[in-house]
Chain A
Amino acid sequence: MGRIQLEKVSKSFGDVEVIPPLDLTIEDGEFAVFVGPSGCGKSTLLRLIAGLEDTTSGKVLIDDADVTQVSPSKRGLSMVFQTYALYPHMTVRKNIAFPMRMAGLSEDEQEKRIMAAAESLNLTDYLDRKPGQLSGGQRQRVAIGRAIVRDPKAFLFDEPLSNLDAALRVGMRIEITEMHARMKTTMIYVTHDQVEAMTMADKIVVLQAGVIEQVGSPLELYSAPKNLFVAGFIGSPKMNFIEGDEASKHNAKTVGIRPEHIDVVESGGAWTGTVGVAEHLGSDTFFHVHDTGLAETLTVRALGNVALNHGDTISLSPRVNEMHRFDDQGLRIA
C-alpha cells in the first residue's frame, strides 16, 4: 500500500515561503509526476514527503497515518537521487544490500533479492565493483536497485535521468515505466522535462512557484489545460498564443493553438505568413512562421515532408475546434 496525502502542507525557508499551503493526494499504485520550471519547488515537495525537510505547517499522511513527525528512515519510502548518492565505499552488492541489512533481513533473503534486482537491471557483472568504477547509467541502475529491494510503500525519484545522455534517458524512461507496470507500487517522479512527464505519468502535477497549477492525466492536461501556464508548459513544441482581434473573434483575451492543429494548405488558408525557419525532420516538418499579424512567431507542425523553405509564403488553416480560449486572468474558458 502507498497512498500519500498532503494536507495544507507548506514550507518556508526562513522568511521565504517556497510552498504555500497545498493539498494533494496520490493514490496507491499511481505514477505521479511533479513537473514545473526550475526552482518551482518540485524537489522541496518531494523532500517533504520523504521527511528530509520538515513541514512548516500541515500534515503528511501515508496510508492514512500521520507521518509528519516521523523520521525519513521510518516512513518506508525509497528515494532515487539526481546525483545517485551511492555509498562510494561499498561495492554495488553492498550498496544494494544496505537497506535490507538495516531492515535486518536474513543473508539468504538479501542475496536472493540482490540477484533478482541485478538480473532485472543488468547489473550482474558489476556486483563487485565500487560506484566509482561505473558509468552514469550503471550508477543510476544501482540507485534504482537499492530502492527496489526493500519493497517500499512508494518510490520517490528526483530527476533521476537528468545526468544521462539523451539515448540512455529514453531507455531508462521506458525501463522505469515498465518497472512500475510490473510492481504497481506508488511512484512519485520529479522532472522538469515535460516529455518525461507526458510519457510516464498516470497523473501529472504541474507546479509553478510552489503552487499546483493543475493535476490531471497527461491527456487531460494536453486537451484541457486550466490556464495559460499549463497550456504553455505541456506540449512540445509549445502552444501558440494569439491575442488581439483574432482572440476577440473567439470571445477571449487569448487563444491558444497547438502547432499540430494548424494545417499547411496550398492556398486560401485563413492565415498567411512567411517561413522563418523550416525544420525538416523527415517524419514531420516544423515551420516557424513570421508576418502573420497574429503573433511574432507561429510554430506549425506538418506531417511528412513539406517542401517550403526560408522566405517562402505559407498558407495556414487553423482547426478552430481545437483552439483553447483564455480570459483576462489567463484562465480557460470552457
Chain B
Amino acid sequence: MAIVAQSSKYGRVSRATLAWVVGLLFFFPIFWMVLTSFKTDADAVKPEYLLFFQPTLENYLNMTENYDYWRFARNSVITAVFATIFALAVGIPCAYAMAFNPSRATKDVLMWMLSTKMLPAAAVLYPMTFLTKSMGLFDTHFLIIVVLMLINLPIVIWMLFTYFKEIPKEIIEAGQMDGVNTWGEIREILIPLAWGGIASTALLCFIFCWNEAYWTVRLTTTEAATLSKLIEGNRAPEGLFFGRLSAVSTAAVGPIVVLGWFCQKQLVQGLTFGAVK
C-alpha cells in the first residue's frame, strides 16, 4: 500500500517537473523577446546587460509614433476576423454534409483538401503576385481575407468534421422527422450541439490567420499590411535592431496571447478533440 502510494507520488512529482521544464522551454523565447523589447537597441546586443539593464519604453513609443502600429493592428484584426467568419460560413455546411450524408467520395474529398496544404506556397508565389496585381486586388483587404480563408479552410473543415462526427446521427435525423429543413437543422441543432468544437476551431483559425506571414507579407504593401508585415519591416537590412524588433513582435503577438489565455480551456478541449458530448 505504502509503496504504491509513494511511487504514485513520485510519479506525480516527476510528471509535474517534466511539465514545468517543457513549459519553461517553450516560454523562454517569449520571455526573452519581451525582456529585449525593453532594452535599447544598443543594450540588446551587450552581454553585460543580459538580465539587468535600464528598462526603457523607447521602442514602444517609437513603434506607435513612427510606424503606425495601430493601422497594422487594425488590418490584422479585420483580415483575421473576416477570414475566420467566412471560413466557418463555408466550413460548417461543408463539414455537416460530409459528416451526416457521407458518400463514397467523402474520405477522398477530405484527403484531397488536406493535400492542398502539401503544395509549397513558394510554388504559386509568382502566379499569385502577377494575377492579383493584374486583377487590381493586390494589397487589398479583400485579397488577404480570401487568401487567409482559403489556406485555413482545409484544417477548419477537418476539425469541424471531426466534431460533427461525434454527434449521434439519430439526433440529426430526429430533427428531419420533426420538420426542420437543412438550414434549420444547422442553426437549431448542429451549431448549439457542436458549439465548443466550433468555438475552438474558430479560435485556432483566428490564430493561424493572425500569425500568417508568407502571403500577408508578399501580397501587401501598405493598405492591407498586417502586423506580420510590420515585424518583417523591422528586420532592418542595415543592421540588427533587436530591441525595436522585439517590441514590434511583442506588440504583434500580445493580443493573440491574451486571447489564447482567456480561451485556454476551449483550446485544449478543441485540440484534444473531445469537446462534444
Whether A103 is near chain B, meaning CB under 8 Å from some CB there, is yes
B-contact 0/1 string along A87-102, CB 8 Å cutoff: 1110000000011001
A133 to B64, CA, bound (A): 55
Whether A50 is near chain B, meaning CB under 8 Å from some CB there, is yes
Known pairs A89-B192, A102-B184; A72 contacts B176 (CB<8 A): yes
Give the nearest-CB partner of B167 in chain A.
Answer: A88
A81 to B175, CA, bound (A): 12
Pick the contact of A79: B174, B181, B189 (CB < 8 A): B174
**Interface contact A50-B180, CB-CB below 8 Å:** no
**Interface contact B178-A88, CB-CB below 8 Å:** no
Pick the contact of A89: B178, B180, B193 (CB < 8 A): B193
A52 to B192, CA, bound (A): 22
Whether B232 is near chain A, meaning CB under 8 Å from some CB there, is no
A88 to B193, CA, bound (A): 8
Q: Which residues of B contact A87 (CB under 8 A)?
A: 171, 174-175, 189, 193
Known pairs A87-B189, A88-B193; A99 contacts B178 (CB<8 A): yes
Pick the contact of B174: A81, A89, A103 (CB < 8 A): A81
Pick the contact of A81: B173, B180, B192 (CB < 8 A): B173
Whether A83 is near chain B, meaning CB under 8 Å from some CB there, is yes
Known pairs A83-B170, A85-B171; A102 contacts B180 (CB<8 A): yes
**Interface contact A52-B173, CB-CB below 8 Å:** yes
Whether B177 is near chain A, meaning CB under 8 Å from some CB there, is yes
Q: Which residues of A contact B192 (CB under 8 A)?
A: 89
Interfacial residues of chain A within 77-125, with CB under 8 A of chain B in the complex: 77-79, 81, 83, 85-89, 98-99, 102-103
Whether A324 is near chain B, meaning CB under 8 Å from some CB there, is no
Give the nearest-CB partner of A75 in chain B.
Answer: B177
**Interface contact B176-A85, CB-CB below 8 Å:** no
A102 to B182, CA, bound (A): 12
Whether A146 is near chain B, meaning CB under 8 Å from some CB there, is yes
A50 to B178, CA, bound (A): 11
Pick the contact of B179: A50, A73, A81 (CB < 8 A): A73
Whether A69 is near chain B, meaning CB under 8 Å from some CB there, is no
**Interface contact A85-B179, CB-CB below 8 Å:** no
Q: Which residues of B contact A248 (CB under 8 A)?
A: none
**Interface contact A150-B193, CB-CB below 8 Å:** no
Q: Which residues of A contact B23 (CB under 8 A)?
A: none
Whether B120 is near chain A, meaning CB under 8 Å from some CB there, is no
Known pairs A83-B168, A85-B171, A102-B184; A77 contacts B177 (CB<8 A): yes
Whether A163 is near chain B, meaning CB under 8 Å from some CB there, is no
Pick the contact of B177: A78, A88, A103 (CB < 8 A): A78
A285 to B180, CA, bound (A): 53
**Interface contact A71-B174, CB-CB below 8 Å:** no
**Smallest CB separation, B149 vs chain A (Å):** 28
A-contact 0/1 string along B151-183, CB 8 Å cutoff: 000000000000000001011011111111100
A-contact 0/1 string along B74-87, CB 8 Å cutoff: 00000000000000
Q: Which residues of A contact B193 (CB under 8 A)?
A: 87-89
Known pairs A87-B189, A89-B192, A89-B193; A150 contacts B179 (CB<8 A): yes
**Interface contact B170-A98, CB-CB below 8 Å:** no
**Interface contact A73-B180, CB-CB below 8 Å:** yes
**Interface contact A98-B168, CB-CB below 8 Å:** no
**Smallest CB separation, B195 vs chain A (Å):** 8
**Smallest CB separation, A146 vs chain B (Å):** 7
Q: Which residues of B contact A81 (CB under 8 A)?
A: 170, 173-174
A interface, CB within 8 angstroms of B? 50-52, 71-74, 77-79, 81, 83, 85-89, 98-99, 102-103, 146, 150, 156
6 extra interface residue pairs, beta carbon distance < 8 Å, beyond A78-B178, A86-B174: A73-B178, A81-B174, A85-B170, A85-B174, A88-B171, A156-B177
Between-chain CB contacts (< 8 Å), 6 pairs: A72-B173, A74-B179, A78-B178, A85-B174, A99-B178, A146-B178
Closest 3 pairs between A and B when the two form their complex, measured CB to CB = A85-B170, A99-B178, A85-B174
